[in-house]
Structures are given as C-alpha cells and as structure tokens.
Amino acid sequence: MGSQRIQAVLDAAVAEGIAPGLTAAVARADGSDEVYAAGVRGIADATPMDPDTVFWIASCTKAITSAAALQLVERGVLDLDAPLGDRLPALAAPRVLDGVDGDGKPRLRPARRPITLRALLTHTSGMAYDFCNADMAAYFAATGESIVTPGAPLAFDPGEGWQYGTGIDAAGWVIEAATGQGLDAYLAEHIFGPLGMADTGFAPGPDRRAGLHARGSDGVFAPLDPFAQPQLLWGGGGLSSTARDYLKFLRAVVGDGAGVLGPQTLTLLRDNQTGAMPAGELISANAAFSSDFRPLPGVDKRWTLGFLRNEGDVAGARRAGSLAWGGIANCYYWVDPASGVAGLVFAQFLPFADPGMLGVFEAFERAVYAP
C-alpha cells in the first residue's frame, strides 16, 4: 500500500504538468530499498523514465565532496581549522566585497581572518553564489568575473555569517591538492567504487540522460539544448547520477557508513557545526535560475559539515537531526538517522525551488512515513 501511495504522488505530478518526468528512491530502516519512476525523460524525448535514468544532480554533489574531505580529515591528511592559503594560493589573501558604488566600482578590503576547511564545508567562508546574493551579482556584472574566477571576493569575513556558495568547489580543490589526484579519481576510488555507484561521475555518456528544461513564466517547459552538463570537476555541482546510485550514498550516511564513511566522518556530517547560526534559506537574485528557497518553514535549521539539519521534528515526516539538501535542477533528498530512513526525488528543470516540485517532495516524504 505504501509503494502504491508513493507511485501515485509521482504519477499525479506528471499528470499535473509539474515535471515531464521524475524518479524517486527510498531507503528503509529494515534495509530494503525502493525505486520509482514516472513520466518521460523530457519533452523532446518520450523514453519513459526508469530507475537508471541519469540526472545532473548539481548541488547534490556537495554532500559527496564534503564526505570525501572529511575522510581525509579522519585520516589526518587535512585539518579542519588550518588556514588553506598554503595549499591553495587562490585562498591565501581573501578579499571581502563591501559593496558596489553608484558608478559600478566595487569596494574591496582584505579579509580579517583566513579561510579554513571548516568554513568551506559549513558555508560560513563568505564564498557566495551570485544567483542568491545580489551584491555578488552586481560585482560580477561590474567586473566581468564569475563564480569560477580564482580569488573572487567574499560576501563577508569568514565565520561571520551563513551564505550558500562555492565553498564546496574550493573543498574539491583542497582534496586535489592534498592527494595529488583529480577529484574525479579520488571520488571514484574512495566513494563511488566502494559503494557500487557505477553510474555516478562528472562526464556521463549521452545514453539514459534525462533532458534538462526551463519552465517559462507561462508554465511551459522548453528544452535546454545542448544538455547543460558541467565538464569541470566542480565539487559543488558537477556530478551526474541516478536515483538508484545516489540512494547508495544516502544509505551510507543514514547507516553505519557502509565501510566507506568512518565514525568521525559520520559524526561531522550529522552534527550541528554552526552553533546558534541559522542556515539553509536562499533569497533569489536570479528568478530564471532559482526562486526563493525556505525549506521547512518554522523549523530551526543549522548546517553540519555536509548538510542542512533540522533541529526539531517535522510532524508526519522526518525526525529532529535529519539531514537534507538538493540540486538546482529540482533534485531533493533527506536523510533521517533517527528513523533509519532516507529518500530522494529527482527532476530536471529550472528554476530551482519550483513551488509545485517542492509540494511533490513534501507529499512524497509524507507518503514514505505514512503508516
């Protein structure tokens, strides 16, 4: 009955035009896995969605890169609180953006403290995305730089706020500097291979891919062609995966680490690392890319060294201490260690935080927990 209820949520989402197609997966406390699909790969591809359809998972990449960095912390290769300038020259002398003058000239000053791995993983480094930071968007417009420009300025001094941004991309650079491996090679050896995630990587082939779409203001989907698959080793957003594969990573997080994530890594991934500092809300500065994102309204939220964490129970759904996040193309997941449950829903369209898609994610989660 539970599986029928879950499938009905996905089928209704497609019938109502919320997405051309979806996949979803659930890890249960009894060790069983469930994988679902509905609709088609895209408006230009009538191939039915299936559990092995490949999605650009975008910022769902961040938790994997964070876990990889914490493996190195647990092994003593990296220090969470050491300044990173010696390993990454681009971070050696960070600057802070103090605003943009009326004539478009940015005001910059030296940061008051160095950037650390802890700051990168908690999104407290000041490294910011322009799509959810208007000051940074103005800076890039004025200078022609972008979020991938080495040494781009910070939105604030490290440790003085929470701002979603490119810190996990920088964490990927730290992994490469510390190991001498490309991020793709490190993840393949230390996470994807051991967990059996054969369909996860930075450069998947064209077969089995869901099409990426943009939803216009009229609600109509248009294909984004060619497929906007990042070719850079972006630790913050470059991976593609399947619902079946990504669930293997979530099961390692919700359980005992599956021999891949050690006890210290699991603790750091699960526990609040931002103290009393709220986290997790995004105010859009680019409506075509993302709507405002305010997950779990009314629930206190903090950040671990890999995830958004809710500090209170959600009635009829995840328990306190659950972990969650998503990807810009409307991919979402949660991990509930207290209940031993994890789940995900993947779609493939912009803008992020689509209200209809967030409603599907909530309905899916409630269907998973329903008796």
> Lowest mean pLDDT: which of 164-168, 200-204, 317-321?
200-204
Instruction: List the beta bridge partners of residue 302.
Output: 309
- Which of these three, 173, 208, 224, is where a domain ends? 173
Residues 233 and 301 in one domain: yes
Q: State the Cα–Cα distance between residues 84 and 75, nearest whole angstrom.
A: 18
pLDDT score, position 231: 55
The verdict on residue 80 lying in a domain is no
| Three-class SS state of 117 | helix
DSSP 8-state assignment for residue 83: B
> Lowest mean pLDDT: which of 22-36, 175-189, 194-208, 258-272?
194-208
Residues 251 and 119 in one domain: no
Q: Are 100 and 142 in contact (CB under 8 A)?
A: yes
- Identify whether 301 is a catalytic site residue: no
Full residue range of the structural domain in which residue 123 is found: 89-173
The verdict on residue 75 lying in a domain is no
Residues 45 and 96 in one domain: no
Residues 152 and 197 in one domain: no
Q: What is the pLDDT of residues 63-113, one digit of tens each?
A: 999 999 999 999 999 999 999 999 999 999 999 999 877 777 889 999 999
The verdict on residue 219 lying in a domain is yes
Nearest CA-CA partner of 41 in 26, 20, 24, 23 = 20
- The confidence band for 173, taking pLDDT boundaries of 50, 70 and 90, is very high
Residues 336 and 214 in one domain: yes
Residues 196 and 330 in one domain: yes
The verdict on residue 351 lying in a domain is yes
CA dihedral 242, 204, 209, 356 (to 10 degrees): 60
Mean pLDDT of 236-265: 97
The verdict on residue 235 lying in a domain is yes
Q: For the residues of 188-252, what is the DSSP string, one character each?
A: IIIIIHHHT-TT-BSS--STTBPPPEEE-TTS-EEE-SS-----S--TTT--EE-HHHHHHHHHH
- Identify whether 66 is a catalytic site residue: no
H runs (alpha helix) in 93-166:
117-122, 134-143
Q: Are 341 and 27 in contact (CB under 8 A)?
A: yes
pLDDT score, position 225: 64
Nearest CA-CA partner of 305 in 246, 253, 240 = 253
Residues 213 and 327 in one domain: yes
**Catalytic residue, candidates 164, 186, 332, 333:** 164
**Catalytic residue, candidates 59, 125, 240, 290:** 59
pLDDT of 209 over the 90 cut? yes
Question: Residue 59: CB partners within 8 Å, gap ≥ 6?
Answer: 236, 237, 325, 326, 327, 328
Residues 154 and 269 in one domain: no
- Which of these three, 118, 148, 173, is where a domain ends? 173
Residues 23 and 139 in one domain: no
**Catalytic residue, candidates 36, 62, 66, 332:** 62
Residues 51 and 100 in one domain: no
Q: State the Cα–Cα distance between residues 39 and 160, nearest whole angstrom.
A: 44
Q: Are 24 and 334 in contact (CB under 8 A)?
A: no
- The confidence band for 1, taking pLDDT boundaries of 50, 70 and 90, is low
CATH code of the domain covering residue 17: 3.40.710.10
Q: How many domains does the chain have?
A: 2
Cis-peptide, bond into residue 351, ω within 30° of zero? yes
Question: What are the Cα distances from residue 137, in Å, to 98, 106, 144, 147?
Answer: 13, 11, 10, 9
Pairing of strands 106-110, 95-100: antiparallel
- Which of these three, 173, 204, 225, is where a domain ends? 173
Residues 188 and 268 in one domain: yes
pLDDT of 230 over the 60 cut? no
pLDDT score, position 227: 47
The pair of structure tokens assigned to 302 is 């903090």
The verdict on residue 363 lying in a domain is yes
- Identify whether 290 is a catalytic site residue: no
Please indicate whether residue 302 or residue 230 has the higher confidence score (pLDDT).
302
Report field, pTM of the whole predicted structure over 0.85: yes
The verdict on residue 287 lying in a domain is yes
The verdict on residue 70 lying in a domain is no
Residues 307 and 215 in one domain: yes
